[in-house]
């Protein structure tokens, strides 16, 4: 029977929901072997999936394990997802900010792999912070304070985990319907009624071209709406690192700086957070439109309400909330060295993957799932595209554990920066 289904997809046919279930649930139960699922995935990769197949696959994966029931929460529920990038610490600010504005958000995040950092790794640099919460703990916390920020539960959408590992081993990851189904299966299982998607575009993103990012955004929204969830996707720039920090504790520091009304925040990062929050408030019916929602987000940052919610969340998850007043309680690297601009001019490029590679060499990320990370190390990128720069002025600040990793990162960063003599226009963070 399974070979017939593989053949149907290979020849460009459309599988029914029941046929997709046979393959996917059979695989989860261990009844359908890897090689048949691998062949089917390749047929999906080459032939594509119709919208009906993509929705069916997503819903089958979402129903393959536990699903959070948020129906008893007396506030609009929202989940957000970013397709990831370099320096993306958005959830650390956005989750408490939205909760401070009346949105209930039970956010589950992953660990970092390759060039993108994971929110869970970043959170774990807060002393004591617990990222492993049970579904009951998450629900109770969201009931009590409006938000949680925890690790992805293994019992949610187990089909996605299995299929992703197989896609990774069979060159079938880069298929828009398969990526969209994978992302949305976890969102549907997370139980929120509203879904906000931040689809990143550029050299530091999963989608490097605008065309592919638009296709992915469209597919994600059609799945969400098809599954009865109000869904909105934004396209945002990832052609340079987001904010000024790349590295776990450094990114938590930047998130706290953004939340603290008495400290300056990075304009591109704050603009992104407020734009996302504006759309979230509008989506949930808590603001008449995104522009009003954005103004509300700014007020919640300025009043300190978002910061207070962050403190409550850290405390609820066992972390030390004093980190918000004393950033020195976060892990700190022993070697902190500035990297000067080699010439004067205007910054034309801060290559995100090169900065991420330097951070990886310092120990901030992992190449394999089992690798340990060093929370203290990373890179500060002190200039954005369009900024004027003087020769000798610091453009990066490197936080290193050892002399040898410092030297390696310094060498890598030589090719991260491009400076031109003529002015370069800044690149806005919001694309659509």
Please say which residue, 181 or 250, places its beta carbon nearer to ligand URA: 181
CB of 163 vs ligand URA, minimal distance in Å: 8
Q: Is 158 among the residues that bind ligand URA (CB under 6 A)?
A: no
CB of 234 vs ligand URA, minimal distance in Å: 17
Q: Give residue 407's Cα distance to chain centre.
A: 29
H helix or E strand, kind and range, residue 106: strand 105-109
CB of 26 vs ligand URA, minimal distance in Å: 20
CB of 109 vs ligand URA, minimal distance in Å: 11
Q: In sequence order, what DSSP letters do the residues of 310-364 get, joined into one string?
A: HHHHHHHTT--GGGGT-GGGS---SEEEEEE-SS-EEEEEE-HHHHHHHHHHHTS
Q: Give residue 235's Cα distance to chain centre.
A: 13
Length of the chain: 432
Distance CA(210)–CA(215), nearest Å, equals 9
Residue 404 appears among annotated catalytic residues? no
Q: Is 164 among the residues that bind ligand URA (CB under 6 A)?
A: yes
Q: Hey, what's the torsion of the CAs at 429, 164, 16, 192, to 10 degrees?
A: -50
Burial of 71 (0-12, 13-18, 19+ CB in 10 A): exposed
> Catalytic pick from 182, 185, 265, 405?
182
Residue 121 appears among annotated catalytic residues? no
H helix or E strand, kind and range, residue 150: strand 147-151
Distance CA(359)–CA(336), nearest Å, equals 13
Residue 399 appears among annotated catalytic residues? no
Count of residues that interact with ligand URA, criterion CB under 6 A: 5
CB of 64 vs ligand URA, minimal distance in Å: 15
Residue 81 appears among annotated catalytic residues? yes
Nearest to 266 by CA among 384, 134, 162, 135: 384
Please say which residue, 54 or 141, places its beta carbon nearer to ligand URA: 54
> Catalytic pick from 186, 194, 296, 309?
186
**Between residue 181 and residue 210, which ones bind ligand URA under the rule CB under 6 A?**
182-183
Please say which residue, 183 or 360, places its beta carbon nearer to ligand URA: 183
> Catalytic pick from 111, 167, 260, 266?
167
Residue 198 appears among annotated catalytic residues? no
Q: Which residue is nearest to ligand URA (CB)?
A: 182
Q: Is 179 among the residues that bind ligand URA (CB under 6 A)?
A: yes
- Catalog residues that contact ligand URA under the rule CB under 6 A: 164, 173, 179, 182-183
Query: Which residues are annotated as catalytic?
Result: 81, 160, 167, 182, 186
């Amino acid at each position: 029977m399974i070979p017939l289904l593989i053949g149907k997809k290979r020849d460009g046919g459309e599988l029914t929901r029941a046929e997709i279930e046979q393959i996917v649930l059979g695989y989860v139960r261990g009844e359908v072997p890897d090689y048949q699922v691998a062949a089917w995935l390749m047929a999906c990769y080459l032939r594509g999936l119709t919208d009906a197949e993509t929705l069916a696959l997503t819903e089958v994966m979402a129903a393959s394990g536990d699903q959070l029931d948020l129906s008893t929460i007396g506030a609009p529920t929202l989940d957000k997802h970013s397709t990831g990038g370099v320096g993306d610490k958005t959830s650390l600010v956005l989750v408490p900010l939205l909760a401070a504005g009346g949105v209930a958000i039970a956010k589950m995040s992953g660990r970092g792999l390759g060039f993108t950092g994971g929110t869970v790794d970043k959170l774990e640099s807060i002393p004591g912070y617990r990222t492993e919460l049970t579904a009951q703990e998450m629900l109770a916390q969201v009931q009590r304070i409006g938000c949680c920020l925890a690790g992805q539960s293994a019992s949610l959408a187990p089909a996605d985990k299995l299929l992703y590992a197989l896609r990774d081993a069979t060159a079938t990851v880069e298929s828009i319907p398969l990526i969209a189904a994978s992302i949305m299966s976890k969102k549907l299982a997370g139980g929120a009624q509203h879904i906000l998607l931040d689809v990143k575009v550029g050299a530091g993103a999963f989608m490097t071209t605008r065309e592919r990012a638009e296709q992915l955004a469209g597919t994600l929204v059609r799945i969400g709406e098809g599954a009865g969830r109000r869904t909105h996707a934004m396209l945002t720039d990832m052609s340079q690192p987001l904010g000024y920090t790349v590295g776990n504790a450094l990114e938590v520091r930047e998130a706290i700086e953004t939340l603290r009304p008495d400290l300056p925040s990075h304009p591109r990062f704050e603009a992104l957070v407020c734009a996302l929050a504006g759309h979230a408030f509008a989506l949930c019916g808590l603001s008449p439109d995104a522009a009003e929602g954005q103004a509300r987000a700014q007020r919640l940052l300025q009043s300190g309400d978002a910061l207070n919610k962050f403190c409550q969340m850290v405390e609820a998850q066992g972390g030390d909330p004093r980190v918000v007043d004393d950033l020195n309680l976060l892990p700190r690297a022993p070697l902190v060295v500035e990297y000067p601009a080699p010439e004067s001019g205007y910054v034309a490029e801060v290559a995100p993957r090169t900065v991420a590679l330097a951070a990886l060499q310092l120990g901030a990320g992992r190449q394999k799932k089992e690798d340990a990370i060093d929370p203290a190390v990373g890179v500060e990128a002190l200039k954005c595209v369009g900024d004027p720069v003087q020769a000798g002025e610091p453009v990066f600040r490197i936080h290193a554990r050892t002399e040898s990793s410092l030297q390696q990162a310094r060498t890598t960063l030589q090719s991260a920066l491009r400076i031109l003599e003529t002015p370069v226009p800044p690149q806005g963070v919001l694309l659509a």
